[in-house]
């Protein structure tokens, strides 16, 4: 029941993001920005299946993922739900940031955009590092599951599982620190 309540709250939050995306897409369409490089993806490969410059199709993809998760929630373990929610959160946060950055760029005017683009460009390595950490986290989690599924559990297996959990903990700590750093860097530019 707890997971279903959380999913319902996500539906509401996603509808708010859809409104922001529609507004941003409408403004960008009027200015002709959606016509430039229409097939160029807004995000790093692997984050979304969607390609293109408009935000709303990315929201549609998130909506589809959330709908599928709601339909399957009763048949999934808590661990599986948590993993899917973490992936959803990563994509939601990236899309939300992209919309906010676009609004910030549009609101600053043409004379400030080159400076802003240079600053945002400096964040790119941090986003790539975050993606790398998330991928490493996924592989560690997969390795732990494989070790736990081994039918013959030895002391060496248990020690290896413990080592993998320690690595996973350090990885998650690094992800949290990097996300907080990105959030504070972005907050300074939003002020």
Compute the C-alpha angle 149/151/152, nearest 5°: 125
Q: Give the count of domains, the chain.
A: 2
Residue 42's nearest CA partner among 109, 104, 96, 119 is 96
pLDDT band at 34 (very low <50, low <70, confident <90, very high): low
Whether residue 26 sits in one domain with residue 90: yes
55: containing domain: 1-108
Whether residue 88 sits in one domain with residue 124: no
Domain-ending residue, one of 57, 83, 108:
108
- Out of 57-71, 120-134, 136-150, which region has the weakest mean confidence (pLDDT)? 120-134
Whether residue 130 sits in one domain with residue 92: no
Count helices and strands (H / E) in the chain.
Answer: 5, 0
pTM score, whole prediction: 0.55
Task: Kindly tell me if the per-residue pLDDT of 37 is higher than 70.
Answer: no
pLDDT band at 36 (very low <50, low <70, confident <90, very high): low
Domain-ending residue, one of 47, 82, 108:
108
Q: What's the rounded mean pLDDT across residues 145-161?
A: 84
């Amino acid at each position: 029941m707890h997971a279903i309540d959380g999913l319902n709250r996500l539906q509401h939050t996603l509808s708010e993001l859809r409104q922001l995306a529609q507004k941003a897409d409408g403004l960008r369409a009027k200015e002709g920005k959606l016509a430039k490089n229409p097939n160029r993806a807004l995000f790093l490969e692997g984050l979304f299946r969607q390609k293109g410059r408009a935000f709303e199709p990315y929201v549609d993809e998130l909506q589809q993922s959330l709908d599928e998760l709601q339909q399957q929630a009763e048949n999934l373990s808590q661990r599986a739900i948590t993993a899917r929610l973490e992936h959803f959160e990563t994509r939601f946060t990236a899309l939300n940031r992209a919309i906010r950055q676009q609004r910030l760029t549009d609101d600053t005017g043409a004379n400030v955009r080159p400076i802003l683009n240079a600053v945002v460009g400096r964040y790119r390595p941090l986003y790539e590092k975050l993606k790398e950490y998330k991928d490493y986290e996924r592989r560690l989690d997969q390795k732990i599951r494989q070790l736990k599924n081994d039918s013959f559990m030895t002391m060496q297996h248990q020690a290896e599982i413990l080592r993998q959990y320690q690595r996973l903990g350090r990885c998650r700590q690094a992800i949290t620190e990097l996300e907080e750093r990105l959030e504070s860097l972005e907050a300074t530019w939003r002020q």
